[in-house]
Amino acid sequence: MWSLSKFATNQPGRRLWRWLAWRERPWGAWALVNLLLSLLSGLVVGLQYEYSTPFFSVSAIDLLIPYGGFFRALHFYSSQLFFFAGCVHLLAVYRKSGDSPRSEWWKLIAALVVSLLLLFTGYVLRGDNTGVSAGVIAEHILVALPLLGEPLNNLLFAIDDSGLRKVYLQHVIGLDFLLLLLLWQHLRRYRVRLRDNTGTVAMVLLFSMLVAAPLEPARPGVEYISGPWFFLGLQELLRYLSPLTAGVGIPSLFLVALFLAQPGGRRQRLCLWGIGLWLGWYAVFTLIAWNR
């Protein structure tokens, strides 16, 4: 039976874990630096954003507000990098997380989910082809959830009734507060100094200056619209399965495996197997959707 310890003893696995262990501190620092950049740039963009006219508002930020395009790009790319670096940091410290209380492990996994929701609501708030399509799909998935579907949709989206007002409020207040609450104990252990991460900050700033954040205007006659990169596999699954199965059941299996995968748990091996198979299977559907 495969296990994390066996994986770490073979040559490729040993090299990977040595590299991750060596980079353990930088990945955590990079995640925190990008989180701070995302929050600060999000404050600038949020003050200029109007949820009643989302696409026009985002276009005006890019074209009319001084340095608006730069701040929107900085917010977009630093948010993506925070999520990516956070995932790698969790992988790097995975073997040490067995010493933490189970509640802390659950908080970290919940923080990843909230981070993904923040990324998703950011796409929806753009009000472009990708955002509108993603919002409609998300509402259909939530409504299909028995009992809790309507309350959750009213809390997070309710786009048909409220436009993007609730999405905006959750993105700039509710989800941010929840993320910081979940990460509070973890963040207290880290002290990141700006002068130690000037290279990281400079690279993110430079990239945001050179590469504009995506914005996809309406294109008449286009029948298929790709959602966010992390949403593509789910979007493809919805072509074959019901919203309840594809949008709730299958992602729930992955989340349950993550919550139970803390080192030292009785189901650790089974959960790691399940996570690996799920990710591989999801990647296949993502590639299919990417090539449509």
- Quick: pLDDT tens for 140-186: 999 988 888 899 889 889 888 888 999 999 999 999 999 999 999 88
pLDDT tens digits for range 108-130: 999 999 999 999 999 999 999 89
Q: Is the pLDDT of residue 254 over 80?
A: yes
Burial of 166 per CB tally in 10 Å (0-12, 13-18, 19+): buried
**pTM of the entire predicted model:** 0.88
Q: Is the pLDDT of residue 93 over 50?
A: yes
Q: Is the pLDDT of residue 242 over 90?
A: yes
Average pLDDT for the chain = 88
Quickly count: other Cβ atoms within 10 Å of residue 262's Cβ: 21
| Nearest residue to 214 (alpha-carbon basis) of 203, 226, 200 | 226
Q: Is the pLDDT of residue 233 over 80?
A: yes
Q: Is the pLDDT of residue 22 over 60?
A: no
| Nearest residue to 163 (alpha-carbon basis) of 182, 188, 193, 139 | 139
Q: Is the pLDDT of residue 18 over 70?
A: no
Q: What is the pLDDT of residue 96?
A: 81
Quickly count: other Cβ atoms within 10 Å of residue 104's Cβ: 14
Give the 3-state secondary structure of the chain.
CCCHHHHHHCHHHHHHHHHHHHCHHHHHHHHHHHHHHHHHHHHHHHHHCCCCCHHHHHHHHHHCCCCHHHHHHHHHHHHHHHHHHHHHHHHHCHHHHHHCCHHHHHHHHHHHHHHHHHHHHHHHHCCCHHHHHHHHHHHHHHHCCCCCHHHHHHHHCCHHHHCCHHHHHHHHHHHHHHHHHHHHHHHCCCCCCHHHCHHHHHHHHHHHHHCCCCCCCCCCCCCCCCCCHHHHHHHHHCCCCCHHHHHHHHHHHHHHHHHCCCCCCCCHHHHHHHHHHHHHHHHHHHHHHHCC
Q: Is the pLDDT of residue 203 over 90?
A: yes
**20-29, 62-71, 183-192 — most confident range:** 62-71
State how far the alpha carbon of 130 is from the alpha carbons of 84, 160, 201, 216, 288, in Å.
21, 17, 28, 7, 17
**Domains with residue ranges and CATH for the chain:** 13-214 (1.20.810.10), 226-292 (no CATH)
Q: What is the pLDDT of residue 98?
A: 80
| Nearest residue to 168 (alpha-carbon basis) of 203, 105, 124 | 124
Q: Is the pLDDT of residue 4 over 50?
A: no
